[in-house]
Amino acid sequence: MAIRHGKDLIPRILGGLGDLRLELNDSFEIVHHSLSAIAVAYAMFTGEGQLYTFMVLISEVTTPEINMRWYLDTAGLKRSNAYLINGVVIFFAWLVIQMHIIGFLLVFVVPSALATMNLIWFGKIVKGLKKTLAKRP
């Protein structure tokens, strides 16, 4: 089983940071999480932007499922029931959480970058779910 970060399986599944070894795409991830931590700290200490910060943090609810999907894929379990169930859970979690957050945020005229990214990801999730369901007997 070829797992990229085998020693930190549980932290990755739980949406943790995992280890911080620099790899090709990790520099973006480090910058992203550093800026997020700064924004959360700013909101905590100043009392500004708490609603927006809460909405962004709640959007991370799907991170464990996304991480689990990567592990199932890497372990060669794309045809397993666990992979299918994981995909369905991701679909409904994004539908319920992310899409409602987008609607709520847009009402308050928050920048639409988050909405655009979530819509792109949701489109990929729908495409992947269709592809997975089409392969099932």
For the segment 1-13, what is each residue's pLDDT rounded down to a tens digit? 344 444 444 544 4
Phi, psi of 78 (to 5 degrees): -65, -25
Contact 135, 79 (CB under 8 A): yes
- Highest mean pLDDT among 13-17, 41-45, 52-56, 94-98 belongs to 41-45
Residues 88 and 84: their CA atoms lie apart, in Å, by 6
- What span, in angstroms and rounded, lies between the C-alpha atoms of 16 and 39? 18
Supply the pTM of this predicted model. Answer: 0.50
pLDDT digits (tens, 9 = 90+) for 72-98: 989 999 999 999 999 999 898 888 877
43 in Cβ contact with 50 (< 8 Å) = yes
